[in-house]
Structure 1
Amino acid sequence: MEKQGRETIPITPSLRLVPYYPAYETTLPWYQDAELCHQVDNQERVYDLSILKNMYEYLNAHGDLFYIEYEGTLCGDVCLQTSGEIAIVICKAYQNRHIGRAVVGKILELAREKGYPECFAEIYSFNAQSQAMFRSIGFVQKDAEMFVYPLR
């Protein structure tokens, strides 16, 4: 379910954050990519519909969950959890277009508006691409897999 008061958030003319709603036919294929699942969960198993629904229900209950829409197509999801953790996934076909960088920048603005003292991301040490993206935004690596961005 979409949370009350949540609106679409424009980032650029071609990129925006769309409040979560069930769109499993679109999103399930992202999470059936074994390499993407390994980067996100450090597991070899891919998601089935039940796992996907449980993940989205959890994230939606514990934060601000959005789809990432690029040029009218859903291409990923991002959640600003109430703990300050940022979780982001972009399907393979849309990676390496600086979409993640722009989205995380907008999520940091949202966190600042909400008064969060910091945001953080846990990124597996083998996921060099994601680690580099978070560093490029200004996140500081605190240990092998923890990246922190102070907002105050």
Structure 2
Amino acid sequence: MEEIIIEENLKLIPYYPNQEIALKWYQDSDVCKQVDNIDTLYTRDRLDTMYNYLSTNGECYYVQFNKTLVGDVSLYNGNELAIVISKEYQNQHIGRKCIQEMIQQAKERGLKELIANIYSFNQQSRKMFESIGFKQVDEELYMYKL
């Protein structure tokens, strides 16, 4: 995997162990609820387990905005997308641009569709994915036809 430049100030950096930075994103109860529907903060072990799974079962990238790591995005299990943007960087279209780039990557790989699991209460993510063209196909499942 190589670095992907989306814009001058927005890049996807291939995953490497960097829990000192990444753990900070998962120390926000709202982010943990949005991502995993849990009411507890991530531990280092939980973070390691998640990144190990994502990087072993697909491609995992850090999101770098203005030279600062602000989240992560993954394409795993063949066609499933997941994204986390640190709370202070949400609502700046960073996530939208990253998902659009991952769609482009999936097209280049010849995938036919992408899916995203989004909790029913996560209106912010639902709105973002729908604005890109994902369609709700089940209560918490969204699909994008390539």
**Would the TM-score normalized by the shorter structure come out above 0.5?**
yes
For residue 138 of structure 2, give the secondary structure of its aligned residue in structure 1.
coil
Per-residue deviation, residues 18-65 of structure 1 (Å, max 9, x unmatched):
000011110101111111101111111111111101100000000110
Unaligned runs of 5+ in 1: 1-5
Corresponding residue for residue 124 of structure 1? 119
Looking at structure 2, the residues matched to 129 and 93 of structure 1 have their Cα atoms a distance apart, in angstroms, of 14
Q: Aligned runs of 1:102-117 on 2, under 5 Å?
A: 102-117=97-112
Q: Which runs of 4+ in 1 moved over 6 A?
A: none
Corresponding residue for residue 10 of structure 2? 15
Looking at structure 1, the residues matched to 77 and 37 of structure 2 have their Cα atoms a distance apart, in angstroms, of 23
Identity of aligned residues (%): 48
Looking at structure 2, the residues matched to 82 and 148 of structure 1 have their Cα atoms a distance apart, in angstroms, of 14
Looking at structure 2, the residues matched to 47 and 82 of structure 1 have their Cα atoms a distance apart, in angstroms, of 22
Residue 40 in structure 1 maps to residue 35 in structure 2: yes
Q: 2:64 aligns with which of 55, 62, 69?
A: 69
One-letter amino acid of the counterpart of residue 71, structure 1: N
One-letter amino acid of the counterpart of residue 95, structure 1: Q
* Shift of residue 83, structure 1, vs aligned partner: 2.6
For residue 39 of structure 2, give the secondary structure of its aligned residue in structure 1.
coil
Looking at structure 2, the residues matched to 93 and 32 of structure 1 have their Cα atoms a distance apart, in angstroms, of 12
For residue 142 of structure 1, give the secondary structure of its aligned residue in structure 2.
strand
More moved, 111-120 vs 94-103: 111-120
Looking at structure 2, the residues matched to 124 and 18 of structure 1 have their Cα atoms a distance apart, in angstroms, of 27
Looking at structure 2, the residues matched to 62 and 21 of structure 1 have their Cα atoms a distance apart, in angstroms, of 15
One-letter amino acid of the counterpart of residue 143, structure 2: V
Looking at structure 1, the residues matched to 108 and 18 of structure 2 have their Cα atoms a distance apart, in angstroms, of 28
Q: Tell me the TM-score normalized by structure 2.
A: 0.98
Instruction: Count how many residue pairs are aligned between Structure 1 and Structure 2.
Output: 146
Q: CA RMSD in A?
A: 0.7
